[in-house]
Amino acid sequence: MSFYKFSSSFGRVGAAAAALLAPAVAFAQETAPAAAAVVAPVPNKGDTAFMFLCTILVLFMLIPGLALFYGGLVRAKNMLSVLMQCTIIGASIMLVWVIYGYSFAFGGSTSPFFGGTAKLFLSGVNMDSTAATFSDAVIPEYIFIMFQMTFAAITPALIIGAFAERIKFSAAVLFCILWVTFVYFPIAHMVWDANGLLFGWGALDFAGGTVVHINAGVAGLIGAIMVGKRTGYGKDMMAPHSMTLTLVGAAMLWVGWFGFNAGSNLEASGGAMLATVNTFIATAAAIVAWSVVESFTRGKASMLGAASGMIAGLVAITPAAGIVGPMGAIVMGVLVSPLCYFFISVVKNKFGYDDTADVFGVHGIGGLFGALATGIFASASLGGIGYAEGVTMGAQFLTQVKAVLVTIAWCGVGSIILYKVTDLIVGLRVPVEAEREGLDLASHGEAAYHS
């Protein structure tokens, strides 16, 4: 066969094949853009590993960090009761979160107050589901769910420090489940969901000044008042039984708080490192400031004061961690300690409420200060990342004030109602005999220490 005949034959075969394949080629060309559009984004492995670490660190804040911090602050006969409350409340809220809490907070609803029911029982979530970060990257939705779950678990556990040593175990657990359902989840949606009321106002809360600390502080104050003072309060010695454990717990909280603050950036970037350095230095400044204040007012700096300053600094920087500059963080740490010290040493004594672990004085006041100060120190002129286009410092501060007031009102009214409901169902307070014996034995039949 000549080359001409071969090439002609090949050409006829090729033409015939092309004619047969033309519809398929045309279909592929038409659908290629659409297919590309539905290709799921691939999670960034570095961000995913970073968020996994941060999630575990926040769990470390709750157990053993918060449990030991509060446990050291109560009397020896109530040590295990605090450990047990932190443990069971944390575990219960984790279950509540995956059943309906995640949906109520981040379920995709357009409501400014409620996340909806679209993700009840984690409906629609699988290994391929993703959540967006602040850049173009994504992380698995499961890790976002778990990270937010640890926030939901630790926040109600913060409250129990206000009425430790006299509340029923069943009441503590029931109240916390009701509280996260009707107070925490709506506030989390309002602040952190794109459709939320306070998010829409432009309120700044990087890691939970309103959602976690003002929320827990207000609920703690109301609880301390409604549950009532400890038997013998103001007469009997009620000093912390182990400042050693209190410092150990506080140190664990500081370590875990890096997950809390840096993790709220949702990705391993410069924003996370800004949150990290601020968590270091605001806390350090608050510790030093508290000790200086005590040296002038009491004549001696105490270990309890240093631990309190540590928590106050952490609380204050939480809403501002990824927003303000390092120098602004130092100023916030210096200012928050004398403010919290004043509420604990003067205001608390003036009004006579029995806030066992000073939840309101540290978390409530520290969170309020931090939320408002964020609106000021976010300014680029003060080293912060700056405001949204067209927003001035005065306008942002006013927005912060509105966000704080909404949080206080929602939490205050909701908490009063839920304490009443809890009291009607199981009763809030243990009998006086059980309180005198100690909740370790009375509620759990075991003791933390044996001679």
Integer Cα distance of 144 and 264 in angstroms = 10
Range in 12-26, 378-392, 430-444 with the lowest mean pLDDT: 12-26
Question: Do 408 and 44 touch, CB atoms closer than 8 A?
Answer: no
Give 275-285 pLDDT, tens digit per residue: 999 999 999 99
Is pLDDT of 9 > 90? no
Beta strands in 299-360 (DSSP E): none
In this prediction, residue 11 carries a pLDDT of 40
In this prediction, residue 16 carries a pLDDT of 38
Helix, strand or coil, per DSSP, at residue 350: helix
Integer Cα distance of 85 and 133 in angstroms = 34
Q: 370-398 as b/e, with b when 16 or more CB fall inside 10 Å? A: bbbbbbbbbbeeebbeebeeeeebeebbe
CB-based burial of residue 170 (10 Å sphere; 0-12 exposed, 13-18 middle, 19+ buried)? middle
Give 375-434 pLDDT, tens digit per residue: 999 999 999 999 999 999 999 999 999 999 999 999 999 999 999 999 999 999 999 999
Integer Cα distance of 227 and 140 in angstroms = 42
Pick the more confident residue, 138 or 19. 138
Is pLDDT of 17 > 90? no
Span 358-383, average pLDDT = 97
Integer Cα distance of 150 and 53 in angstroms = 12
Integer Cα distance of 309 and 184 in angstroms = 26
Q: Which residue has the tokens 């919290």?
A: 340
Integer Cα distance of 276 and 262 in angstroms = 6
Q: Terminal CA-to-CA distance of the chain, rounded, Å?
A: 108
- Alpha helices in 160-302, H assignment, sequence order: 169-179, 185-192, 197-201, 215-227, 243-263, 270-297
Q: What is the DSSP letter of 62?
A: I
Residue 261's Cβ-side half-sphere holds a number of Cα atoms within 13 Å equal to 31
Which of 433, 441, 425 shows the shortest CA–CA distance to 170? 425
Question: Do 115 and 109 touch, CB atoms closer than 8 A?
Answer: yes
In this prediction, residue 224 carries a pLDDT of 97
CB-based burial of residue 357 (10 Å sphere; 0-12 exposed, 13-18 middle, 19+ buried)? buried
In this prediction, residue 134 carries a pLDDT of 83
Rounded to the nearest 10 degrees, the angle between the axes of helix 45-60 and helix 141-159 is 20
User: Which residues does residue 429 pair with via DSSP β-bridges, in sequence order?
Assistant: 167
Residues 6+ apart with CB under 8 A from 421: 178
Residues 6+ apart with CB under 8 A from 230: 165, 166, 238, 354, 356, 435
Pick the more confident residue, 21 or 57. 57
In this prediction, residue 345 carries a pLDDT of 95
Tokens of 137: 């990257």
Which pTM was predicted? 0.89
Using 50, 70 and 90 to split pLDDT, how confident is the model at 158?
very high
Integer Cα distance of 146 and 158 in angstroms = 19
Cis? peptide before 64, omega within 30° of 0: yes
State the amino acid at position 270 in one-letter form: G
- Alpha helices in 383-449, H assignment, sequence order: 393-425, 432-437, 439-444
Which of 10, 66, 48, 19 shows the shortest CA–CA distance to 255? 66
Q: Which residue has the tokens 């109530």?
A: 78
Percent of the chain exceeding pLDDT 70 equals: 91
Query: Mean of the per-residue pLDDT values for the chain?
Result: 91
Give 52-108 pLDDT, tens digit per residue: 999 999 999 999 999 999 999 999 999 999 999 999 999 999 999 999 999 999 999
Integer Cα distance of 122 and 309 in angstroms = 39
Is pLDDT of 1 > 80? no
In this prediction, residue 26 carries a pLDDT of 45
Span 337-351, average pLDDT = 96
Integer Cα distance of 87 and 83 in angstroms = 6
